[in-house]
Amino acid sequence: MQFAELAKDPFLHMAALFWQGDTHVYCYRQPEEAIPIFKEGLSYVNSDAPLFESALFVNLAIAYAQRGDETEALKMVAQARNAIAQDAEQDPYQYIQMGHGILDTLEGRAYLHLAEHLPNYAQSAYDAFSNGTGKLHSPLWQSQALIHKAEAAMGIGDLHEYARCLEGGACIALRLDSKNRQHQALTVFGKTPKNWLKEQKYQNLAKQLAPIATSTQTSIIAL
């Protein structure tokens, strides 16, 4: 933030605010801290920065969803959709990762948080992740989308999709040696409903995730 202010570069300033708010949302789950930061970031937006604007709006949607504010979360999702350009990937200010597939994925995350308060949003989350996976070029984003899609599938009670998506996302994470994504996969695995634990698909999934548990020194039994 200090260097962005010294540089007097509005795009750097937006990026700094974006990542500061992002930290409060994803690392600490502090939506009340994140919301004013994202709003300040939006005050620097102009027509030259559709990716920034869309990213700030969708992260605002996630923050509002974390606190269970359905109305504001949906409003911010709509704003993010309106802001992003058709040729978003050509935006010259690539201080953040953003694009149509990533927007779908982040929208899905907003719905996942809403589903914690309003379970019907699990289906909306699943649909958003389904829309995004075919547009993502980054394997890391593919991994994240599949892992969260597995969580959404769990919310709608689809064991087959849960196992398929979680295995797919975890395999990419293991291949890329991404400890962050591996941890995300194990976290979702640890939420498996008790009535699925004796199912063969669950048992097969546990075997597939064993190498990840070993690499992260996590016990699947403990999960």
SS (H, E, C) the chain: CHHHHHHCCHHHHHHHHHHHHHHHHHCCCCHHHHHHHHHHHHCCCCCCCHHHHHHHHHHHHHHHHHCCCHHHHHHHHHHHHHHCCCCHHHCCCCCCCCCHHHHHHHHHHHHHHHHCCCCCHHHHHHHHHHHHHCCCCCHHHHHHHHHHHHHHHHHCCCHHHHHHHHHHHHHHHHHHCCHHHHHHHHHHHCCCCHHHCCCHHHHHHHHHHHHHHHHCCCCCCCC
| Reported confidence tier of residue 118, pLDDT bands at 50, 70, 90 | very high
d(CA 126, CA 150): 8
Residue 203 has pLDDT above 80, yes or no: yes
For 42-73, give one letter per residue: b (16+ CB within 10 A) or e.
Answer: bebbeeebbbbbbbbbbbbbbbbbbbebeeeb
The whole-number pLDDT of residue 213 equals 80
- Write down the pLDDT at residue 52: 86
Quickly state the pLDDT bin for 220 (edges 50, 70, 90): low
Tell me how crowded residue 134 is: count the other CB atoms within 10 A of its CB.
Answer: 10
pLDDT at residue number 84: 87
Q: Where are the domains of the chain?
A: 1-99
- More confident call, 95 vs 161: 161
Q: Which residue has the tokens 């869309």?
A: 54
Confidence of residue 110 (pLDDT cuts 50, 70, 90): very high
Model confidence at 217, pLDDT cuts 50, 70, 90, reads low
CA distance 208 to 76: 38
**The predicted structure's pLDDT at residue 63:** 98
User: What span, in angstroms and rounded, lies between the C-alpha atoms of 42 and 197?
Assistant: 45
Q: Which pLDDT does position 88 carry in this prediction?
A: 59
**Residue 116's pLDDT band (boundaries 50, 70, 90)?**
very high
- The radius of gyration computed from the CA coordinates of the chain, to the nearest angstrom, equals 18
Tokens of 90: 């050509």
Band the pLDDT of 133: cuts 50, 70, 90.
very high
Question: How long, in residues, is the chain?
Answer: 223
Sequence letter at residue 80: A
- AA letter at 143: S
Q: Residue 127 pLDDT > 90, yes or no?
A: yes
Place 87 in a pLDDT band, splitting at 50, 70 and 90. Answer: low
Fold of 1-99: 1.25.40
Give me the pLDDT at residue 161, please: 98
Predicted local distance difference test score (pLDDT) of residue 89? 56
pLDDT score for 95: 63
Query: Which of 46, 76, 50 has the alpha carbon at shortest distance from 62?
Result: 76
